[in-house]
Amino acid sequence: MGVSGSGKSTVGAALAQRLRVPFADADDLHPAANIAKMSAGHPLDDDDRRPWLTTVGEWLAAHPDGGVMSCSALKVAYRDRLRELCPDVVMVHLAGTRDVIARRQASRPGHFMPASLLDSQFATLEALTDDERGFAVDVDQSVDAIVEAVATGLSHPEEIR
């Protein structure tokens, strides 16, 4: 989970390959209307996200032996919806400062999420709470280092809150 540009897709794909589990990008599960709205520079609202989160949660639930899904899941309520459908999900927050994320976004031209929406993403972001299963990883490092940190964190389930 994390804001646009935090590396969810890149890290998620690399992590899934390392763990030898399926990978999906929640961006690919957005209905066309959501993509059109974001491409026009308008942030999604909760009504836009509700059916999309259901689709994401159903994908997670369909992979009980493991899977990696890159998904913004910025609000606790969104993560609650995913947990309703897949109670064992572990959230990994790919966290970084606005400057780090803006720099990452600038290196990926053509993505449907314009950089102008970065501030709205940070305004919406709610950090993991103490009662959510998951942990944060700093994205201001190489993809390999991030994947290593996530894999290490996942290998110690007793330490995941």
Are residues 81 and 61 in contact, defined by beta-carbon separation less than 8 angstroms? Answer: no
Rounded to the nearest angstrom, the gap between the alpha carbon of residue 30 and the centroid of all alpha carbons in its chain is 13
Mean pLDDT of 45-49: 92
How does the average pLDDT of the chain come out, rounded? 90
Is the entire prediction scored with pTM above 0.95? no
Q: Is 127 helix (H, G, I), strand (E, B) or coil?
A: coil
Report pLDDT digits (tens) over 4-44.
Answer: 889 999 999 999 999 999 999 999 999 999 989 988 878 78
- pLDDT for the residue 157: 78
Q: Check whether 161 has a pLDDT greater than 90.
A: no
Report pLDDT digits (tens) over 67-104.
Answer: 999 999 999 999 999 999 999 999 999 999 988 998 87
Instruction: Report the C-alpha dihedral over residues 27, 88, 83, 161, rounded to 10 degrees.
Output: -100
- pLDDT for the residue 62: 98
Domains and CATH numbers, the chain: 8-159 (3.40.50.300)
Residue 140 CA to residue 29 CA, distance in Å, equals 27
Residue found by looking up tokens 């993991």 in the block: 128
- pLDDT for the residue 44: 83
